[in-house]
Amino acid sequence: MKLQGIFPALATCFDHQGGLYKAKVLHNVEKLNQVGLAGYTVCGSTGETPLLSVEERIQSMEWVKQAAAEGKILIAGVGAESVFETVKVANRAADIGFHYALALTPFYYKTQMHRPETQALYFRAVADQSKIPVLLYNIPQVTGYALPVETVAELSHHPNIAGMKDSSGDNNRMKQVLAAVKPGFQVFSGSGAGFGEALQLGAAGAILAIANPLPYACVTVWEAFRTREFEAANDWQARILPAAKLIAGKLGIPGLKYAMDLNGYYGGPPRLPFVPPTAEEKAEIEKVFDGLRS
First vs last Cα of the chain: how many Å apart? 28
Q: Which residues in 39-148 belong to E strands, given as ranges?
A: 39-42, 73-77, 100-104, 134-138
What single letter denotes the amino acid at residue 139?
I
Report DSSP state, residue 146.
Answer: -
What single letter denotes the amino acid at residue 208?
L
131 noted as active-site residue: no
What single letter denotes the amino acid at residue 56?
E
Cα 247 to Cα 30, 212, 252, distances in angstroms: 24, 12, 5
Sort 142 into a burial class: Cβ within 10 Å, 0-12 / 13-18 / 19+: middle
Assess contact for 120 and 161: CB atoms under 8 A: no
Q: Please identify which of the residues 88, 165, 182, 287 carries the catalytic annotation.
A: 165
**Residue 48 contacts by C-beta under 8 Å, 6 or more apart in sequence?**
11, 12, 253, 270, 271, 274
Instruction: For residue 186, give the nearest of 97, 102, 87 by alpha carbon.
Output: 102
The torsion region of residue 139 among left (phi > 0), alpha (psi -120 to 50) and beta comes to beta
Instruction: Give the bridge partners for 104, in sequence order.
Output: 137
Residues annotated as catalytic are 165
